[in-house]
Amino acid sequence: MKITGCETHAVTVNFEGVMSGTHVVLRLKTDQGIEGIAYVSRVGPRNIRAMALVMEAMVESLAGLDPTNTEEIYRKIFGSSLGAPVSGLELRAASAIDVACWDLKGKAVGQPVWKLMGGFRDRLPISANWALMPGPPKDKLQAHLENLVSRGFKAVKCPLGFATMDAAIDHVKFVRAVVGPDVKIIVDLNFQHTVKSALHFARETEEVDLYWIEDPVAFHDYDGMAEVRANTKQTITCGEVFQFQHEFKWLLEKRGCDNVMIDQDLGLTGFLKVAHMAQAYGCPVVNHLAPEALSHPIAAVPNGLIVGLVPWGQPLFTEQMQVEDGNLVMSHAPGLGLTLDEDMLKKCAI
Ligand SMILES: [Mg+2]
């Protein structure tokens, strides 16, 4: 199989009227008529065109190469001509191409990516990560939580970094009262605390039994993360903004967290490398965004903990992620098991 080119689509889609996202979708074309799919999010509106152009130029440089040789492609696109790693839009484009190559590899051999990567399990816990911040009236929040539980979710995530301390503590107590003792509650502090205020929050919410506290302090403060982790009984999760393997190495060596959160920016190839590195430190791994792609390496490895469902990419695809009794049911379809919704791509093009 050889790479022949690509198509990109810039779209803004909305999930159930509560969460919208702007994405650049990549379709990586081959001489065998099959295509690999990926999307990147978190690109500012002014940079959407640039993102697509960088992707297209990078794919052009890969013409004629076999996309199923994922390590060969990974080395070419994540390394610059000077041997240093790429960064910025180039790195984000490289991550999408890597995801699309894995999709093609699965399609080429008729196997799902999670199975090719190790196939540890085909059902794994999933959390609902949308519309759970403080602010809306409590009855609205209660109705949303009850709806999530009725849809089979047994874990929810609340972003609380921008709430006051009192509002954040009150929020998790309210969520616990609504969902009862059997639903996991995850709290994201979004890098907004000092070590002292993070530890205060951790102490005040011990009785709520949180599943984890995420990003308590600044993302570059490895010592601060380690200090928080060492001084609370609660579980700490960090890593979502890291784009390079060495940052995870520093995080793990510092014992900065209990769970490692990995973004799609590392590509699926890089995700897998970090997941194996974390296993050596006894740390479970979870995804940051892009659940359609990142659920695959989490399902593949024994230290994959739970998939976080941020659903803003779901409208791009004709099939939705299947949740049953708190678990994500992985598709057995080849590749990532995704089919682009052609009408949606046209209707929501920007
Ligand atoms: Mg987060």
Query: Rounded CA gap, 349 and 44, in Å?
Result: 15
The pLDDT tens digits of the residues spanning 218-232 come to 999 999 999 999 999
> What is the predicted pLDDT for the residue at 82?
75
- Tell me how far the alpha carbon of residue 274 lies from the centroid of ligand 1, in angstroms: 18
> What is the predicted pLDDT for the residue at 181?
97
> What is the predicted pLDDT for the residue at 33?
96
Q: Above 80 in pLDDT, residue 2?
A: yes
> What is the predicted pLDDT for the residue at 3?
98
Mean pLDDT estimate for the chain: 97
Q: Above 80 in pLDDT, residue 83?
A: no
Of the candidates 128, 302, 294, 324, the residue with the CA atom closest to the CA atom of residue 211: 128
Query: Rounded CA gap, 275 and 269, in Å?
Result: 10
Q: Above 80 in pLDDT, residue 98?
A: yes
Neighbours of ion ligand 1 (CB under 5 A): 188, 214, 240
> What is the predicted pLDDT for the residue at 106?
98
Q: Above 80 in pLDDT, residue 247?
A: yes
- Tell me how far the alpha carbon of residue 272 lies from the centroid of ligand 1, in angstroms: 20
- Tell me how far the alpha carbon of residue 300 lies from the centroid of ligand 1, in angstroms: 22
- Tell me how far the alpha carbon of residue 161 lies from the centroid of ligand 1, in angstroms: 9
Query: Rounded CA gap, 137 and 121, in Å?
Result: 39
The pLDDT tens digits of the residues spanning 169-178 come to 999 999 999 9
- Tell me how far the alpha carbon of residue 3 lies from the centroid of ligand 1, in angstroms: 35
The pLDDT tens digits of the residues spanning 41-64 come to 999 889 999 999 999 999 999 999
- Tell me how far the alpha carbon of residue 99 lies from the centroid of ligand 1, in angstroms: 21
Secondary structure letter of residue 83 according to DSSP: S
- Tell me how far the alpha carbon of residue 131 lies from the centroid of ligand 1, in angstroms: 14
pLDDT band at 71 (very low <50, low <70, confident <90, very high): very high
Please name each of the domains of the chain with its CATH number.
3-110+342-347 (3.30.390.10), 114-329 (3.20.20.120)
